[in-house]
Amino acid sequence: MSKLAVIALGGNALLRDNQAGTIEEQEANTTETLENIIFLLNEGYNLVLTHGNGPQVGNIVMQNDAGEQMYDIPQMPLDICVASTQGSIGYMIERCLRNVLRKHGIQRNVLSLISTVEVNPDDEAFNNPTKRTGRIYSKEQAEKLAESKGWIFKEENKQTTGFRRVVPSPQPIHIMNWEVIERNARAGTIVIATGGGGVPVYFDREGNMRPSEAVIDKDLASSMLASQIKANEFYILTDVAYVYADYKGANQKILEFLDYDDAVKYLDKGIFGEGSMAPKIKAALHFVGHGGEVSVITEAGKLEDKTYGSKITMEYDPNDLERQKKRVEN
């Protein structure tokens, strides 16, 4: 049976910090990133691709703001904005990927899906919104919007004045339609799913699906998807080749090979940045802790050279039932 891998495309795979965000720039970045996964297809892997949407969904929210203020066009809720980026980014990845496959003479179907992800409406994240989204407002604008829309704002850092809306970032608990994703992926179709962490939804007491004004961490949602479809490997592509301890600090050190316990130990010590590497480590731990063989964190350009990238594995004695129980509980 062919190995199944889930590859989470980081934000820099689509749009880089020093770019304006034109479609030409995003297509060029996407094509360059996708060239790096060809070797996996040549080795017989089946693939599921996930992706971020941070800059894009932020732009849509700002377009909503401008449309409402200038032309009285009703704002769309956050779940609709996330779904919109899933469609547009998924289409862009699919089109670029089809062209890359044609260039290399590879025959594969490509399928883009709008993915919903179930969250718990009682998740503590709803009491402490932390995910910043949309444009920066003045204090007066933020107060007016907070009163009229019930939005929550937090002040930006010292280098940037103003206030930004913050929304909850709840834990994903179930990837909807994972069976469809797995079935198509194992049949050889390259599936693009769970974009931007998925559209967060919950079920009310009557069993109806309801939207949730939130943003799910894309790496954690991708990890959960990888676990649900029983993938062998999980790749998180970012803008650095390795995981580092004390990144850019005086004691910076490459952590190339980590087993589950060591990764947890470093995470608990706080050596990974909460806003950068820590969520990726948590996602990798979730995957290997729920049966995955290996999780690799690296940059796209180093993917083919398997000597690069930081690898997290379980490395446990399969007869150690107590440790197996512990890893699932974690």
Walk along the chain (330 residues) and give the pLDDT tens digit of each residue: 799 999 999 877 888 878 888 999 999 999 999 999 999 999 999 999 999 998 788 889 889 888 988 999 998 999 999 999 999 999 999 999 999 999 999 999 999 999 999 999 999 999 999 888 777 889 999 999 899 888 899 998 766 789 988 999 999 999 999 999 999 999 999 999 999 999 999 999 999 999 999 999 999 999 999 999 999 999 999 888 899 988 888 888 999 999 999 999 999 998 887 767 899 999 999 999 999 999 999 988 888 766 668 999 986 444 454 544 454 444
pLDDT at 90: 97
pLDDT at 319: 47
280 a catalytic residue: yes
Same domain (yes/no): 211, 312: yes
Determine the structural domain holding residue 140 and report its residue range: 129-167
pLDDT at 105: 98
Task: Look at the chain and report how many structural domains it folds into.
Answer: 2
Same domain (yes/no): 86, 137: no
pLDDT at 324: 47
pLDDT at 158: 61
218 a catalytic residue: yes
Q: Exposure pattern of 161-183 as b/e (b: 16+ CB <10 Å)?
A: eebbbbbbbbebeebbebeebbe
Please give the Cα distance from 240 to 155 (Å, whole number).
29
Burial class (CB in 10 A: 0-12, 13-18, 19+), 326: middle
**Residue of 218, 289, 292, 309 with catalytic role:** 218
131 a catalytic residue: yes
Same domain (yes/no): 183, 300: yes
Same domain (yes/no): 159, 186: no
**Residue of 58, 198, 280, 282 with catalytic role:** 280
Same domain (yes/no): 163, 251: no
Could you tell me the CATH number of the domain that includes residue 298?
3.40.1160.10
**Residue of 29, 52, 131, 134 with catalytic role:** 131
Same domain (yes/no): 18, 153: no
Same domain (yes/no): 291, 219: yes
pLDDT at 317: 46
Same domain (yes/no): 26, 137: no
pTM above 0.95, yes or no: no
Same domain (yes/no): 200, 289: yes
Tokens of 84: 């919109």
pLDDT at 130: 86
